[in-house]
Amino acid sequence: MTSPAMKFLFVLQYPGYLRYFDSVIRLLAERGHHVVVAYDSPHKQPEGAEALRDAEGTIEQIGRTPTRGDLWGPVGRAVRGTIDYARYLHPRFADSPYLRDRMRKALPPFAAFLGRYTTAGEPATRRLIRWLTRLECAIPSSLAIEHYLRSIAPDALVVSPLVTDQCPQVDFVKSAKALGIRNALCVASWDHLTTKGLMRIDPDLVAVWNEEQKTEAIEFHGTRPDRIVVTGAQNFDRWFNRPPSLDREAFCGMVGLRPDRPFVLFVGSTASISAPEAEEEFVRRWAHAVRTGLTGRVGEVGILIRPHPYNSAHWEEIDLADLDNVAVYPKSGANPVNERDRADYFDSLYHSAAVVGVNTTAMIEAAIIGRTVHTVLADEFSDTQGGTLHFRYLLPDQGGCGRVATSLDEHVGQLVETLESPDRNREVLRRFVGSFVRPHGPDVAATPLLAGALAAPAATPAEAEPRISGLSIAVDGAQVLASFDLEDGFT
Say what the pLDDT of residue 241 is.
95
Please tell me the distance from the alpha carbon of residue 74 to that of residue 307, in angstroms, as a whole number.
Answer: 38
What φ, ψ does residue 36 adopt, rounded to 5°?
-115, 135
Residues in the chain: 491
Residue 380 DSSP one-character state: G
Please tell me the distance from the alpha carbon of residue 209 to that of residue 288, in angstroms, as a whole number.
Answer: 38
Please tell me the distance from the alpha carbon of residue 455 to that of residue 337, in angstroms, as a whole number.
Answer: 25
C-alpha 61, offset from chain centre: 22
Beta-carbon neighbour count of residue 232 at 10 Å?
24
- Helix or strand holding residue 221 (H, E): helix 211-221
Q: Using CA atoms of 417, 422, 423, 427 in order, give the dihedral in degrees to the nearest 10.
A: 70
CA distances from 123 to 130, 483, 487 (A): 10, 9, 11
Mean pLDDT of 218-237: 97
Please tell me the distance from the alpha carbon of residue 146 to that of residue 171, in angstroms, as a whole number.
Answer: 9
Please tell me the distance from the alpha carbon of residue 397 to that of residue 379, in angstroms, as a whole number.
Answer: 21
With vertex at residue 172, the alpha carbon angle to CA 156 and CA 155, rounded to the nearest 5 degrees, is 15
Max CA distance (Å), the chain: 75
What is the tens place of the pLDDT at every residue in 382-428?
999 999 999 999 999 899 999 999 999 999 999 999 999 998 899 99
What is the tens place of the pLDDT at every residue in 111-132?
999 999 999 999 999 999 999 9
First to last CA, the chain: 56
pLDDT of residue 472 exceeding 80? no
Say what the pLDDT of residue 490 is.
61
pLDDT tier, 285 (very low <50, low <70, confident <90, very high otherwise): very high
With a CB cutoff of 8 Å and minimum separation 6, the contacts of 404 are 374, 375, 376, 377, 394, 395, 396
| pLDDT-wise least confident of 237-246, 280-289, 365-374, 476-485 | 476-485
pLDDT of residue 474 exceeding 50? no
pLDDT of residue 364 exceeding 90? yes
Residue 441 DSSP one-character state: -
User: Which residues on neighbouring strands pair with residue 184, listed in sequence order?
Assistant: 158, 205
Q: Which residues of 316-349 are buried (b: 16+ CB within 10 A; e: fewer)?
A: eeeeeeeeebbbbbbbebbbbbbeebbbbbbbbb
DSSP string, 93-143: GTT-HHHHHHHHTT--GGGGGGGG-----HHHHHHHHHHHHHHHHHSPPPH
| pLDDT-wise least confident of 172-176, 251-255, 444-448, 459-463 | 459-463
What is the tens place of the pLDDT at every residue in 41-71?
999 999 999 999 988 889 999 999 999 999 9
Compute the Cα dihedral for 198, 203, 209, 210 and give only its sign.
Answer: positive
What is the tens place of the pLDDT at every residue in 170-217?
999 999 999 999 999 999 999 999 999 999 999 999 999 999 999 999
pLDDT tier, 342 (very low <50, low <70, confident <90, very high otherwise): very high
322/103: higher pLDDT: 103
pLDDT of residue 334 exceeding 90? no
C-alpha 82, offset from chain centre: 22
Please tell me the distance from the alpha carbon of residue 366 to that of residue 361, in angstroms, as a whole number.
Answer: 9
Say what the pLDDT of residue 299 is.
83
Please tell me the distance from the alpha carbon of residue 82 to that of residue 310, in angstroms, as a whole number.
Answer: 28
Residue 449's Cβ-side half-sphere holds a number of Cα atoms within 13 Å equal to: 22
Please tell me the distance from the alpha carbon of residue 141 to that of residue 137, in angstroms, as a whole number.
Answer: 9
Say what the pLDDT of residue 298 is.
84
Please tell me the distance from the alpha carbon of residue 338 to that of residue 55, in angstroms, as a whole number.
Answer: 12
Residue 270 is which amino acid?
A: T
Please tell me the distance from the alpha carbon of residue 208 to that of residue 400, in angstroms, as a whole number.
Answer: 18
Residue 374 is which amino acid?
A: H
